[in-house]
Amino acid sequence: MLSADRPDVPAEDGLPPSLLADLKAQIPCDIVFFIGQDSERQTQWFLQGVPGPDAPTPGHEERARTRMADLNRTFWQHYWDCEPCSYHDRTGDLAGVVQTSDFYTTRRWRSTGMRNEFYQHSGLAGIEHVLFMNLPGPGGPGSALRLSFCRAEGSGFSDEDRAALTLLRPHLQQAYLDAQRRRHPAPLLTRRQTDVLQLVAAGHTNAQAARRLDVSESTVRTHLENIYERLQVSSRTAAVLRAFPTGWDTTATVRHAVQPEGRENECAQPLTANGDAAGQQPGPAG
């Protein structure tokens, strides 16, 4: 189910719709949503649903955008008061899998503002049970990737459903990262930039990396600044994750820019975890 070779990776964001459809079959429900949201900024940067919503009819796109903006405001108006919706933000239990019946009786759920105002006006008026699971978002605190499984009739979600999602959670996170890498392949890095970043990934400071590469510390800082700009990140950790998605010591994951003739082998040897070139004796301790 979690194959990385699915051809339907969305161009903008999210998971392959075929994967969401398989999840819907694994956790039987009427509709499953995958949403990128930021509770601190009260925004959603993408929303997927299976089955998906009908496309707006020609000439009604502006009306559809206005309606979505209204629904977004309604959602955030009731977000913090809706205990299962805001559970992960309120408690810090980012890995928990919860459902509405953990917090509300059916009667109380039906009286909440989230169900009566948001679900009612978003075409989900009959939803009685919702199962929530969060994945880490790409931003800071409040940023999350949320899976919501919705049922209109029947009993709530079972312990088996919850256990299955708990087991699938790290694999779904990896599936999202794989989709992101396919959408946004890592830009080319020069060989020297790769050498610097490998040392950073191994835990070396700028000064230690400079000694290893026999350059000045300011040169290492300049390399890092250029790496951040090229990878469109703002930290050492983010740069390592972006450039080495399958592990920092897998040199094949980074594409190098073509070097001038005669310099193809400059600093091209992979580095060990100590920052030494493979096959060479370790240099002086840094």
Please write the tens of the pLDDT for every residue from 38-91. 999 999 999 999 997 665 566 667 777 888 899 999 999 999 999 999 999 999
For the chain, which domains are there?
A: 17-183 (3.30.450), 186-277 (1.10.10.10)
For residue 36, give every residue at least 6 positions away whose Cβ sits within 8 Å of its Cβ, in sequence order, or none: 13, 14, 44, 45, 46, 47, 137, 143, 144, 145, 146
ω into 51 cis (within 30 of 0): yes
Choice between 120 and 163, residue whose per-residue pLDDT is larger? 163
Rounded CA-CA distance 113/225 in Å is 48
The Cα-based distances of 32 to 129, 149, 239 in angstroms read 12, 5, 33
Q: Mean pLDDT across the stretch 25-41? A: 95
pLDDT digits (tens, 9 = 90+) for 86-112: 999 999 999 999 999 999 999 999 999
Contact between 213 and 267 (Cβ < 8 Å): yes
- Token readout for 88 is 């992960």
225-270 pLDDT tens trace:
999 998 888 888 888 877 876 554 434 344 444 343 333 333 333 3
Report residue 217 as tokens: 């510390």
What is the C-alpha R_g of the chain? 24
C-alpha 248/C-alpha 239 separation (Å) is 11
Using CA atoms, how far apart are residues 157 and 27, in angstroms rounded to an integer? 8
pLDDT of res. 188: 82
CA distances for 218 relative to 199, 201, 229, 239, angstroms: 15, 18, 17, 18
How many angstroms separate the CA atoms of 239 and 243, rounded?
A: 6
The CA-based angle 21-77-49, given to 5 degrees, is 10
Q: Report pLDDT for 95.
A: 93
Average pLDDT, the chain: 83
Is the torsion defined by CA of 274, 276, 282, 284 positive or negative? negative
Helix, strand and coil content of the chain, in percent to the nearest 5, comes to: 45, 15, 40
Task: Write the pLDDT tens digit of every residue in 111-132.
Answer: 999 999 999 888 888 999 999 9
Pairing between strand 129-136 and 43-50?
unpaired
Q: Is the pTM for the entire model greater than 0.75?
A: no
Question: Would you say residue 19 has pLDDT above 90?
Answer: yes
Of 125-139, 188-202, 217-231, 252-266, where does mean pLDDT reach its minimum? 252-266
| Inter-axis angle of helices 191-201 and 206-213, nearest 10 | 130
**Which residues in 233-272 are b (16+ Cβ under 10 Å) and which e?**
beeeeebbebbbbeebeebeebeeeeeeeeeeeebeeebe
